[in-house]
Amino acid sequence: MTEALDAARVIRARAGGEAIDGAVILGTGLGEVAGHDDADVVFSYADLPGFPQPHVSGHAGRLVIGRRGGMRVAWLQGRAHYYETGDARAMSGALEALAALDVPRLIVTSASGSTRDDLAPGALVRLTDHINFSGLNPLVGARGDDRFVPMNDAYDAAFGAQLDRAAIDAGADLPHGVYMWFSGPSFETPAEVRMAKLLGADLVGMSTVPEVILARRLGLRVAGLSLVTNFAAGFAGGAPDHAGTKRVAAEGARRLKQVLDHYFAAAGDSP
């Protein structure tokens, strides 16, 4: 936690003391959603103690803080994944820094593979829940009773409903789905995808879940948005690859940005 406090101090020193109302973690190919203008404060993760050094193409490793609509927002362009180092806590420093800055809400975005016909590549999906079938948990080894984090409301329903309304305002479809975490970095086998679908997963992906667990322990309210970049392996001919993930994510980024712009424009008006 001391690194997180140091990072929070570095951020405050340049971004000032004004409240940061929300944070967005931008997944593979989605970094550009942050946009940014001259009024924004931009940090390299390298200058923020405890922040991850992403090693995946499609991830910038930059924190942008600026005003969007009615809110002051921290955009995390790039994340660290479990598969990079085998550390499920890879994002804990960054999330602890957000908590130290009293950021109340977090939107976690990702790219994913779909197990549903009606969620074709390009679909933007709001997560209503997740399945952690990995056997991993970022809180293994944590001390204190707050490690027993309730996950009933991990994806906050009221927060999610605000995003639903923003999507309607933006004229964008925002179907709902359940996300299942696979460690990666290899993609799933067709048999694994059949299992995931059978168990109730609409989407499969390699991120989000450890971050949501960590964020819930820290008390942030969480919403999840995932951009379907492909049908999951073997499903409807799905044959994922990283180049395709980055390409389709970049194409879908504009829609994600529209939904978020409408959310932040409206959010200044509601608690």
- Interface with ligand HPA, residue 180, by CB under 6 A: no
CA separation, residue 194 to residues 200, 238, 267 (Å): 10, 12, 39
Label the pairing between strands 221-231 and 124-132.
antiparallel
CB of 188 to ligand HPA, least distance (A): 6
Omega of the bond leading into 271 within 30 degrees of 0 (cis): no
Of 81, 106, 84, 85, whose CA–CA distance to 95 is shortest?
106
- Interface with ligand HPA, residue 109, by CB under 6 A: no
- Interface with ligand HPA, residue 226, by CB under 6 A: no
**Candidates 49-57, 92-100, 229-237, 259-267 — which segment interacts with ligand HPA by CB under 6 A?**
229-237
- Interface with ligand HPA, residue 202, by CB under 6 A: no
- In the list 20, 74, 111, 267, the residue contacting ligand HPA (rule: CB under 6 A) is 111
- In the list 43, 45, 187, 263, the residue contacting ligand HPA (rule: CB under 6 A) is 187
Task: Please check whether residue 139 is in contact with residue 56, taking contact to mean a CB–CB distance below 8 angstroms.
Answer: no
- Interface with ligand HPA, residue 11, by CB under 6 A: no
- Interface with ligand HPA, residue 78, by CB under 6 A: no
Q: Which is nearer to ligand HPA, 77 or 110 (CB)?
A: 110
Using CB positions, name the residue nearest to ligand HPA. Answer: 113
- Interface with ligand HPA, residue 240, by CB under 6 A: yes
CB of 191 to ligand HPA, least distance (A): 14
- In the list 232, 250, 256, 259, the residue contacting ligand HPA (rule: CB under 6 A) is 232
